[in-house]
Amino acid sequence: MKTLRFLLILLIVVAISGCEKENKENNNNISFENMIIDHNCTDLVAIPAAWIDSAKLKLHIAYGHTSHGSQLTTGMTGLIDFKGIEYAWNNGGTNGALDLHDYAMSGDLGNPDRTSWADRTRTYLDANQKAYAAWWLWAGLAGWGGNK
């Protein structure tokens, strides 16, 4: 019982302290040590502009998905309208935008099987040496038992 109580208290403390490393007065001195950035981090003002600029310079993202995955890019486009051009993205990173190639790899993680996505990702990355990261979002196919 003591262990359960301790774990519950620890969970509450962790939940309350999400994004706790924010330092709005001097964003350049924020420590990356033990930083948690998750769904509790909604204060975009707390993100230093230098971090956003650095991400746009360094990240070249290949994004593969089916229809449901467009929710991510639709949200990102809405962020531009909501918060400004510093959150812009496009395929190629032109005009200072984040380089995100939407629909870079075709298909889904679970279609036509549960492994061909890896080959499609490798093929894309081999042909696009600039790509730094590959993201996938899947619908339900990866979790369906009948699709092997």
Query: Are 59 and 98 in contact, with CB atoms under 8 Å apart?
Result: yes
What is the pLDDT, as a whole number, of residue 133? 85
Q: What is the pLDDT of residue 143?
A: 59
Token readout for 67 is 């229809």
Compute the average pLDDT of residues 34-45: 80
Q: Name residue 14's beta-bridge partners.
A: none
Q: What's the pLDDT at 127?
A: 92
> By residue range, what is the domain housing residue 65?
52-139
Model pLDDT, residue 95: 95
Number of C-alpha atoms within 13 angstroms, CB side, residue 11? 6
Which pLDDT tens digit goes with each residue over 89-143? 999 999 999 999 998 988 777 777 778 888 989 999 999 988 878 888 876 655 5
Asked if residue 123 belongs to a domain, the reply is yes
Give the mean model confidence (pLDDT) for residues 65-73.
84
Whether 66 is covered by a domain: the verdict is yes
CA distance 65 to 45: 30
More confident residue, 145 or 42: 42
Contact present, 23 and 58 (Cβ < 8 Å): no
Give the position of tokens 């991510």.
72
C-alpha 139, offset from chain centre: 17
Q: Is 65 exposed, middle or buried (0-12, 13-18, 19+ CB in 10 A)?
A: buried
pLDDT in tens, 53-65: 999 999 999 998 8
Q: Report how many domains make up the chain.
A: 1
**What does the DSSP assignment read for 44-112?**
GGGS-HHHHHHHHHH-EEEEEE-GGGHHHHHHHHHHHHHH-GGG-EETT-GGG-EEEEET-S-SBTTBS
